[in-house]
Amino acid sequence: MSMNRKRTAQSAFLNPRVLMGLLIALTGVVLALLGFGTFAVRAASMKQPAQSYTANSIDPLVPPGFDCSKIHELGIDKQINFRAGAIMIACGQAQGGGTRPSSPLGALTQFIRKLFSPLAYGGTDVDLITGTETFPAVNQSTTFSWGNPDNADQIVVAYIDLRDFPSDAAGASVSTDGGLTFTRLTKANGQSPFENAGGSPIVLYNRPTATWYTVWGLGACGGLGGYKSTTPWDPKSWVPYCIQSGSYDKPSGWTDMNPSSPFYGRMYVSGNDFARGGNIFVRYSTDNGNTWTNERQITTTFIRNVQITGDLVTGDVYLAGMDEDGGCSSGCGTNRNNKIYRSTDGGNTWTNTYTGPSFVGACRGTAGYFCTMYSNPAYWRHMGWGEPAAFKGVVHYVYAARNPSNGDPGNVFYIRSTDSGMTFSAPFLLNSDTDPTKAQWEPSLSVSPSGTLFAVWYDERDGGGASTCIAGSNSPCYRMYARRSNDNGLTWLPDDAFSDVVSPLPAQPHPSVVPYYVSDYDYASALATKHLASWVDGRVPINGTYQQDAFTDREPVNTPTPTATPTPTPTPTGCSVTSSGCGAIVVGTPPMEFTVNLSGPADPASVQGSDFMVNGTPANTAILLNGNLTIHFFFNTSPVVQGLNTMHIPACAFDCGNGCVQEFTCTFTYKPSTPTPTPTATATHTPSPTPTATPTSTSTPRPTPTPRPAPSARSRPTPPPRP
Ligand SMILES: [Ca+2]
Ligand SMILES: [Ca+2]
Ligand SMILES: [Ca+2]
């Protein structure tokens, strides 16, 4: 069968009718299609009228007369875009997808196991794929989830959607109710609004302009571009824009949404350019996506562009790469190295801050260059790629590795850097399942603005094992599992289920797409109130075949999980904060000094004046006393207002007690000193505050009064010694 397919593919390639089609293809939209992949640049240089093509043809993706012997030289075999896949099929290096006759469909009565235990993480799963689906153009997978920080009801998930393939492979679903329901964007003609777009999905929210940007390979740009909208739920509202002409494979993107960041509003896109040695390049926009003229070369050899992210606080940008060391060309068991690249100046300059130790990538089988999670047939291309996250100078990364010693095909690991990506901790195994026959792979990670971390991955522990994972058949195979940290990665709560059912392994029936494609990544992100994570799920059958739908769910930031007990490893939790100033009434001169007490000693190097705020105003200086259990915070100008005032220390503002500080919020009341002697008063005792005020006399000693009532004398304390 495979030989027949190969011959068919090759002869179709030489068929005159097809060749003619290809020539026409070179002249228009189909050239636009080349935006999917590597050859976009050349294509864009020819200006010809657009042509349309039938959606059941793959031929337009393949350049006429393409020399199949150049597949390796051009890096076609290492690329994940659909055009590269089409060339592999046309050159007989891969089959197209299809429903294999050997796939036994499970008994119709045996449906997916619904678990009745309370769900530890997330809410009810949501199928992002609304509207009709027509076999075999039914695949939706490889997701990118993003939310609007100014309106948490607005969530957009972009994904690969083969509904219109090959005229486009791009889709997105939008929620306007916080993620309870989503609608797949569909124009009146039944198609996606992202015409001639494909490749790797990215969706970002540019906060200064309140504009949503999707990023794709886009034909009209002859390279990278996308569609943008300020009303994302309206399919007609999305308009095209361009980033650059040229080749890009597996792009990633991030945008700085923190108004106090020095690089607020900046947008970043990274990718591998196989027309330039497979090197990683970053493009960024300093004008809210209008122009993208800034390009930087990050590597001088082929390192896979895994994902890009940034620090919500500092504005530093981090790019995770992977040295794949030849991939799986010589089988499972080949090495990988994680790489971290950092820019501290808004994308202008980049440093390779970290190259991790070698590990063996997750693997059960191989498909040419790529490793796969299933074998016989090779299925689900996956190299161990994960996702980075960063918060307050702490950098996080999750990835998947094989255990060569016991043959476990995949486990998900977490590494943590407390020095802005220079050094990382030893890998921490996130999945508690240790059955060496069960795989965990393709993890995503997000960090919220309060330092909660949420990792999500594919996990076989509740399924029947690899032998029962038969693409398209109704046999429970995998489920999404998750794990959460409430202290910026210092400690982790137990791992538990995130998706509601155990999914069958979804089929890839599209004949124009490589047969081992299932999902290349899921990019997760977080808002202040929730973590957003999506995945490919096979629970929905079409034509009796369990097939790909993109699903999503969300984990609230502030709702602790019912079973949450801090895991003692790797380190205990941090400290809590108290202040005798909480609830106090302060009279007199507005205080400029405040004292807090800690349940565990602080790390002096991590404490700054700005860690403490009154009414949102950060203090200028901090001094540690009492064995680092007490901190005095000083303001150059008193932040106190008449009436109610709020003291605040954000979670993980500094390190203490082998962890980081828990969030601290409390209030006090300030009353300016009033002319005390009222006309009727007999002035026997002099500067007397109101009866409820804290006494100033020495007869009632008051340990570390906070906020210091600032009796008459103390308008500015002794100049705080600076460390
Ligand atoms: Ca495992
Ligand atoms: Ca769920
Ligand atoms: Ca589907």
Identify which of 579, 570, 550 has the alpha carbon closest to the alpha carbon of residue 480: 550
Q: At what angle do helices 2-14 and 16-25 cross, to 10 degrees?
A: 60
Give the orientation angle of helix 82-90 with respect to helix 2-14, to 10 degrees.
100
pLDDT of amino acid 580: 85
* Spacing, Cα 431 to ligand 1 middle (Å): 8
Please give the order of strands across the beta sheet that includes 183-184.
183-184, 170-175, 151-161, 140-148, 522-523
| 155 vs 147: CA distance, rounded Å | 4
Residue 559 pLDDT:
65
Q: Map residue 162 onto helix, strand or coil.
A: helix
Structure token digits, residue 206: 């540019």
348 CA from centroid of ligand 2 (Å): 40
Ligand nearest to the CA of 122: 2
* pTM > 0.85: yes or no: no
Question: Looking at the CA of 139, which ligand is closest?
Answer: 3
Measured in angstroms, how far is the CA atom of residue 456 from the centroid of ligand 1? 14
In angstroms, the CA 408 to CA 417 distance is 27
| CB contact burial 187-202 (16+ within 10 A = b; e otherwise) | eeeebbbbbbbbbbbb
d(CA 115, CA 481): 13
Q: What is the pLDDT, as a whole number, of residue 37?
A: 39
Q: Which long-range contacts (CB under 8 A, 24 or more apart) does 720-723 make?
A: 720/621, 720/622, 720/623, 720/632, 720/634, 721/623, 722/621, 723/604
Query: What is the 324 CA–ligand 2 centroid distance (Å)?
Result: 33
Burial 528-542 (b: 16+ CB within 10 A, else e): ebbbbbbbbbbbbbb
Distance of alpha carbon 723 from the chain centroid: 37
- At residue 9, φ and ψ (nearest 5 deg) are -65, -40
Measured in Å, residue 635 CA sits from the centre of ligand 3 at: 58
What are the residues whose beta carbons fall under 8 Å from the beta carbon of 103, sequence distance 6 or more? 470, 471, 472, 473, 507
CA 125 to ligand 2 centroid distance, Å: 4
Q: How many CA atoms lie within 13 A of 553 on its CB side?
A: 24
CA of 480 to the centre of ligand 2 (A): 8
Instruction: Measure the CA–CA gap between 510 and 10, rounded to whole angstroms.
Output: 18
Instruction: Indicate the Cα dihedral angle 47, 53, 56, 57, nearest 10°.
Output: -40
Q: How far apart are CA 689 and CA 695, in angstroms?
A: 8
pLDDT averages per 10-residue partition of the chain, 723 residues: 34 32 30 36 33 38 76 88 84 73 35 44 97 96 98 98 96 98 97 95 98 96 97 98 95 97 97 97 98 97 98 96 96 95 98 97 97 97 98 98 97 97 96 98 98 98 96 97 96 95 97 95 98 98 97 89 42 76 86 90 92 94 90 92 92 87 88 58 39 38 39 40 41
Q: Tell me the domain boundaries of the chain.
A: 2-90, 127-556, 577-671
pLDDT at position 360 is 97
| φ and ψ of 425, to 5 deg | -65, 170
Q: Which amino acid is at 547?
A: Q
Q: Closest-lying ligand to the alpha carbon of 127?
A: 3
Domain range 577-671, CATH architecture: Sandwich (2.60)
d(CA 633, CA 620): 7
Ligand nearest to the CA of 481: 2
Residue 560, pLDDT score: 57
User: Amino acid identity, residue 392?
Assistant: K
The partner residues of 601 in beta bridges, in order of sequence, read none
Q: How far is the CA of 127 from the centre of ligand 2 (A)?
A: 11
Cα three-residue angle 448-452-456, rounded to 5 degrees: 90
DSSP state at residue 20: H
Query: Residue 120 Cα, ligand 2 centroid: separation in angstroms?
Result: 9
Q: Which ligand is nearest to the CA of 130?
A: 3
Contact 12, 18 (CB under 8 A): yes
Centroid of ligand 1 to alpha carbon of 436 (angstroms): 5
CA distance 448 to 454: 9
What dihedral do alpha carbons 102, 103, 106, 111 form, nearest 10°? 180
pLDDT of residue 413: 98
| Distance of alpha carbon 262 from alpha carbon 313, whole angstroms | 9
Distance from the CA of 476 to the center of ligand 1, in angstroms?
17
Q: 135 CA to middle of ligand 3, Å? A: 9
For 525, the enclosing helix (H) or strand (E) is: strand 525-526
Ligand nearest to the CA of 543: 3
The position carrying tokens 């599209």 is: 510
Half-sphere exposure of 380 (CA within 13 A, CB side): 32
Of 253, 261, 268, the closest CA to residue 312 belongs to 261
Who contacts 653 (Cβ-Cβ below 8 Å, separation ≥6)? 611, 612, 660, 661
User: Among all ligands shown, which has an atom nearest to the Cα of 408?
Assistant: 1
In the reported structure, the alpha carbon of residue 690 is separated from the centroid of ligand 2 by a whole-number distance in angstroms of 56
> E strand or H helix at 241, and its extent?
strand 239-245
Q: Which of the ligands is closest to the CA of residue 501? A: 2
CA distance 271 to 357: 23
Distance 704 CA to ligand 2 centre (A): 48
Q: 127-556 and 577-671 share one CATH topology?
A: no
State the distance from the centre of ligand 1 to the C-alpha of 373, rounded, in angstroms: 11
> What's the CA-to-centroid distance between 555 and ligand 2, angstroms?
9
- For residue 69, the model assigns a pLDDT of 82
Q: Which ligand is nearest to the CA of 500?
A: 2
Question: What are the tens digits of pLDDT across the range 539-595?
Answer: 999 999 999 999 999 999 986 554 443 433 444 468 889 888 888 888 888 899 899
Q: Counting ligands in written order, which one lies closest to the CA of residue 507?
A: 3
Whole-angstrom Cα distance, residue 191 to residue 171? 9
Q: Tell me the CA–centroid distance for residue 14 and ligand 2, in Å.
A: 49
- On whether the CB atoms of residues 322 and 280 are closer than 8 A, the answer is no
617 C-alpha to ligand 1 centroid (Å): 48
Distance CA 22, CA 31 (A): 10
What protein residues have CB closer than 5 angstroms to ion ligand 2?
122, 125, 500, 553
- Residue 558 CB: number of other CB atoms within 10 A? 11
CA 201 to ligand 3 center in whole angstroms: 16
* CA atoms of 274 and 79, how far apart (whole Å): 8
Ligand 3 centroid, distance to 549 Cα (angstroms): 4
Residue with tokens 């070698």: 358
Q: How far is the CA of 456 from the centre of ligand 3 (A)?
A: 21
CA distances, 641 to each of 72, 676, 714 (Å): 69, 20, 17
| Ligand lying nearest the CA atom of residue 437 | 1
Q: Which ligand is nearest to the CA of 126?
A: 2
Centroid of ligand 2 to alpha carbon of 492 (angstroms): 19
Question: How far is the C-alpha of 505 from the C-alpha of 470, rounded, in Å?
Answer: 6
Tell me, in angstroms, the distance from the centre of ligand 2 to residue 561's CA: 13
Domain 127-556: which topology?
Neuraminidase (2.120.10)
Q: How remote is the CA of residue 341 from the centroid of ligand 1, in Å?
A: 28
Ligand of minimum distance to the alpha carbon of 498: 2
